[in-house]
Structure 1
Amino acid sequence: MEEKDFFPLFVNVKNKKILIIGAGKIAYRKTETLLKYGADILVITKEIREEGFKNLKNIDIKIGEFSENLLKNAFMVICATDNKELNEKIYKICDEKNILVNNITSKTDMNCRFGSIINNEEYTLGISAKGNPKKAKELREKLEKIL
């Protein structure tokens, strides 16, 4: 597995088209986060596995399968299925098209990574532990106490 270095970056996703493939627990968490920042979200899934999706407002959910035409005008794609091969396939397509893509089943088959976020009146901090979300969360919780 090739190790990748990720450049830390804060990006405005307000009104940007974001495609989320899958509707499980992790997809739900990422959807909630992106909604806080005003993203325009389309979720495509074979089935809704996380009940919380039914309570989210301002997202489109379509029952179906991924197809490349869904990438038209996409700013970012979240591969959040439990099918590692499908996620890898989508990653490769998106990367070739210069679309930001996050893949929940790999630490390397992606070109963007979500950090653990602290957002208060004075600071917005993004924490990455090189693909280890548990370590990032632990540090976030320590820093939240300090701030």
Structure 2
Amino acid sequence: MVESKKFFPLFIDLNEKECLVVGGGSVALRKTKTLLEYGASVTVVASHFKEEFKSLPVEIYQQDFVVDFLKDKFLVVAATDNIHLNEMIYDICEMRGILMNNATSKEDMNTRFSAIIETEEFQIAISAKGLPKKSVKLKNQLIDILKELDIE
């Protein structure tokens, strides 16, 4: 039996860091918006894109992924519906020491995205170990608790 990875919670400055998102669907769009919210410089590559990508301040390449896109990237998100492609991107990023989030795996990544709550006083990140719907559910419950305690 393979022991599952243990992820260390970490807050990291993404301001002006070069990030790559591979994929043009809903998950890629959501993760791209999150990266932009934290100041990242984002490049997106995919053969097809949701229309909303065109309104974002990102560099878009409408083509298939090639390894050269990884050059000088701080963080990579593989958010395609091709599990094998996402795993290949993970393997390359792992060898090169690049932070990588894989939308189709709980293990084949070295970085997870969190559900985030931000208030004037707090920044709370929630991970349900690769189960984003559970993270969002807890996030919404915590927001209600913070409101009740008047510390939102």
- Shared fold, TM over 0.5: yes
Structure 1 position 55, deviation (Å): 1.9
Describe the shift of the 1:124–1:95 C-alpha distance in structure 2 as closer, same or farther (beyond 3 A): same
What is the DSSP-based 3-state SS (H/G/I as helix, E as strand, rest coil) of the residue aligned with 1:15?
Answer: coil
* Counterpart for residue 27 of structure 1: 28
| Structure 1 CA distance for aligned equivalents of residues 134 and 45 of structure 2 | 30
Q: Provide the aligned length of Structure 1 versus Structure 2.
A: 145
Indicate if the aligned counterparts of 1:2 and 1:108 stay in contact, CA closer than 8 A: no
| Structure 2 CA distance for aligned equivalents of residues 81 and 126 of structure 1 | 24
Q: For 1:105, give the aligned amino acid.
A: T
Q: Which runs of 4+ in 1 moved over 6 A?
A: none
Structure 1 position 112, deviation (Å): 0.3
What is the DSSP-based 3-state SS (H/G/I as helix, E as strand, rest coil) of the residue aligned with 2:42?
Answer: strand
- Could you say what the CA RMSD is over the residues aligned between the two structures, in angstroms? 1.0
* Counterpart for residue 3 of structure 1: 4
Structure 1 position 39, deviation (Å): 0.3
| Structure 1 CA distance for aligned equivalents of residues 85 and 34 of structure 2 | 23
Q: Under a length normalisation based on structure 1, what TM-score does the superposition of the two structures give?
A: 0.95
Indicate if the aligned counterparts of 1:115 and 1:126 stay in contact, CA closer than 8 A: yes
Worse overlay, 101-110 or 66-75: 66-75
| Structure 2 CA distance for aligned equivalents of residues 144 and 68 of structure 1 | 41
| Structure 2 CA distance for aligned equivalents of residues 138 and 122 of structure 1 | 22
* Counterpart for residue 62 of structure 2: 63
* Counterpart for residue 40 of structure 1: 41
Q: For 1:47, give the aligned amino acid.
A: H
Q: For 1:119, give the aligned amino acid.
A: E
| 2:1 is aligned with 1:15 | no
Q: For 1:22, give the aligned amino acid.
A: G
Q: Which runs of 5+ in 2 are unaligned?
A: 147-152
- Structure 1, residues 87-121: CA drift from partner, whole Å, max 9, x if none? 00000000110000000010000000001000111
What is the DSSP-based 3-state SS (H/G/I as helix, E as strand, rest coil) of the residue aligned with 1:19?
Answer: strand
- Structure 1, residues 51-98: CA drift from partner, whole Å, max 9, x if none? 221221x21111111111111110000001100000000000001100
Q: Which runs of 5+ in 1 are unaligned?
A: none
1:86-101 matches, within 5 Å, as 86-101=85-100
* Counterpart for residue 131 of structure 1: 130
Q: For 2:137, give the aligned amino acid.
A: E
| Structure 2 CA distance for aligned equivalents of residues 92 and 2 of structure 1 | 18
Q: For 2:65, give the aligned amino acid.
A: F
